[in-house]
Chain A
Amino acid sequence: EVQLVESGGGLVQPGGSLRLSCAASGFTVSSKDMSWVRQAPGKGLEWVSIMYSGGTTKYTDSVKGRLTISRDKSKNTLYLQMNSLRVDDTAVYYCATNKWFAFDMWGQGTMVTVSS
Chain B
Amino acid sequence: QSALTQPPSASGSPGQSVTISCTGTSSDVGGYNYVSWYQQHPGNAPKVMIYEVSKRPSGVPDRFSASKSGNTASLTVSGLQAEDDADYYCSSYAGNNWVFGGGTKLTVL
Q: Are B100 and A46 in contact (CB under 8 A)?
A: yes
**Bound CA span A94–B48, Å:** 14
Q: Are B57 and A108 in contact (CB under 8 A)?
A: no
Question: Which one, A14-22, A72-80, A82-90, A97-105, is touching chain B?
Answer: A97-105
Q: Are A108 and B45 in contact (CB under 8 A)?
A: yes
Main SS of the interface on chain A?
Answer: strand
User: Which B residues touch A103, using CB under 8 A?
Assistant: 36, 38, 46, 48, 91, 98
User: Which A residues touch B48, using CB under 8 A?
Assistant: 102-104
Q: Are B38 and A101 in contact (CB under 8 A)?
A: no
Most buried by A among B1, B34, B45: B45
* Interface bits A26-70 vs B (CB < 8 Å: 1, else 0): 000000000101000000111100100000001011000000000
Q: How many residues on A have C-beta within 8 angstroms of the other chain's C-beta atoms?
A: 21
**Bound CA span A102–B52, Å:** 8
- In the complex, B99 has a CB within 8 A of chain A: yes
**Bound CA span A12–B99, Å:** 27
- In the complex, A107 has a CB within 8 A of chain B: yes
- In the complex, B18 has a CB within 8 A of chain A: no
Q: Are B52 and A45 in contact (CB under 8 A)?
A: no
* Distance (whole angstroms) from the CB of A5 to the closest CB of chain B: 11
Q: Which residue of chain B has its CB nearest to the CB of A104?
A: B48
Most buried by B among A35, A94, A106, A109: A106
A44-B97 contact given A60-B1, A107-B45, A108-B45, CB 8 Å threshold = no
Q: Which residue of chain B has its CB nearest to the CB of A109?
A: B45
Residues of B at under 8 Å CB distance from A?
Answer: 1, 3, 32, 34, 36, 38, 45-48, 51-52, 55, 57, 89, 91, 93, 96-103
